[in-house]
Amino acid sequence: MFKMRHWKSLIKTSKNWSLLIAFICITQLLQAQRIVFINAGNGKLIEAREGDVLCIQYHGYLGQTETFKNTLTEIKDSSFVLGIQLMDANNPLASKMGQQMQVKEIRYCDVVGFRRMGIGRVLLKSTLTTGAAIGTILVLNALYRDNAISDFGKIGISLGVGLSVNTLINLLLPERPNHFMKEGWQINPLKE
C-alpha cells in the first residue's frame, strides 16, 4: 500500500515536469528571431528568419567590401551568423580557413547591401540548373552521334553551351545584393 502511494506521487510529479519541459520547449520555438530590413522612404519591409538564404555585402576586417551568401543560422543583438558550422572546433582535422569560408558573423553596422532569397527562388534556380544540365547532355549526345565533329570541336561546343546556359540562368536569377543601406535601408533584429 505504501509503495502504491509512492508511485502515484512519482507519476504525478513526472507529469508536472513533462508539462513544464513541454511549455519551455514551445515558448523557445515560438520565440523565433528575425531580422527586419526597413526602408521607411519607400515603405518597404523585408523580413529574414533563421533558415533563409541571404547574400550580404559588408565591410570586412580591414575595411574592404566583401560579399557572402549562405543560410542565416543565428540572430544576435548586434550581429548575425551566416552558415552552418559543420566541423567541431576541437577536431584537429578541421581547418581554420575552411571554417572561415563556411561561417561568418557579421555586425549590423557593417552591412552595405543585401538580398534575401526565399526557398522558392533557391529551389527554382537549382531545378533550372539541373534541368539545363540534363537537357544539354541529351542534346549534345544526339549531336555527337555523328562523327562529323572532331574531338576538339565537341569540347568547344560543350564548353560554349554549358557557359551560355549558366550565364543565362545567372542573368535570370541573380544572387548579388540588390538593396543597399545608402538607399535608406535600416536593419532591426526582432524577437517574437
The rounded distance, in Å, linking the Cα atoms of 54 and 37 is: 12
Do residues 192 and 27 lie in contact, with contact meaning Cβ atoms separated by under 8 Å?
A: no
pLDDT at 52: 87
Q: How far apart are CA 105 and CA 20, in angstroms?
A: 34
Domain extents in the chain? 120-172
The backbone torsions φ and ψ at residue 191, rounded to the nearest 5 degrees and listed phi first, read -110, 135
Read off the pTM.
Answer: 0.65
- Amino acid (1-letter code) at residue 141: N
Mean model confidence pLDDT for the chain:
79
Residue 158 is predicted with a pLDDT of 83
Q: Quick one: pLDDT band at residue 1, thresholds 50, 70, 90?
A: very low
Task: Please report the pLDDT score of residue 14 as a whole number.
Answer: 55
